[in-house]
Amino acid sequence: MRFDVITLFPELFAPFLQHGINRRAFESGQVAVHLWNPRDFAEGNYRRVDDRPFGGGPGMVMMVEPLWQCLQAVRAARNDEPDARAPVVLFSPIGQPLNHTSVERWSGSAGAVLVCGRYEGIDQRFIDTCVDLQISLGDFVLSGGEIAAMALLDAVARLQPGVLTDEGSHQQDSFNPALDGLLDSPHHTRPEVWQGPNGPLPVPDVLTGGHHERIARYRREQSLRITAAHRPDLLARAREQGLLAAADLSFLRSQGLL
């Protein structure tokens, strides 16, 4: 798959693409990332890409023409057919929240053109004319779309075959259908007993006993407990969809979580 990123700061992506476990996906070309700077398509000696907003107000707005010309260059490089063009995605506070379901959909797609806004935003005429989908990371505002673009690329890359050392790792991630959309359980590693500031803290006995069925049940119960405490909406959805087994419901009732 191929992602073309339109950004005023392509240099921010270099360390992201070259380091970390997901670099395997980028280096292998499983997830190809191409960076485009709209400043390269701006006119004049100063290559200006922003201007003051009509009607007044604080800040600057990214101009439509450099973005438009940049997008045309992207489309030419992708060689997409007009009726099968890659979707143009803008990262914006008004966008649809990025979640596991949408990440899985992107991970099996042909890619997209990712537009990273800056300043007070971009000219609405570009959005109305060119943008197919807007995505948000949550109810907060970032200085630009670069971090959001990296988040999407990271989430997509780790789902590609061979990227994670253990192929089953992502199956146990929070929100994954393998966990019925619940949160993951806690994890422990060596030392078996940690001498913490308030005394020794051992790993739960069940995890060191070697009884796989008991371990699986313990982890399921911890997943249920954590989800009930931190994301009761996920638990309610799993219950409505009939994903909780009788043992799950019994545990939740015994803990006063239902």
Measured distance CA(163)–CA(157) in Å, rounded:
7
Architecture per CATH, domain 174-254, reads as Orthogonal Bundle (1.10)
- The pTM (predicted TM-score) of the whole model is 0.91
- Residue 170: the pLDDT is 66
3-state secondary structure of 180: coil
Q: Which residues are catalytic, by number?
A: 93, 120, 158, 173
| 166 beta partners | none
Position 168 scores a pLDDT of: 60
Profile the chain (258 residues) by mean pLDDT over runs of 10 residues: 98 94 92 98 94 96 98 95 91 96 96 96 98 97 97 96 73 82 96 97 96 97 97 97 97 96
pLDDT of residue 174: 82
In 3D space, the residue among 212, 207, 217, 215 whose CA is nearest the CA of residue 245 turns out to be: 217
Question: From CA 38, how far away is CA 63, in angstroms rounded?
Answer: 10
Q: 2-157 and 174-254: same fold?
A: no
Name the fold adopted by 2-157: Alpha/beta knot (3.40.1280)
Q: What 3 state SS string does 102-118 have?
A: HHHHHHCCCEEEEECCE
CB 69 within 8 A of CB 43: no
**3-class SS of residue 258:** coil
Domain ranges of the chain: 2-157, 174-254
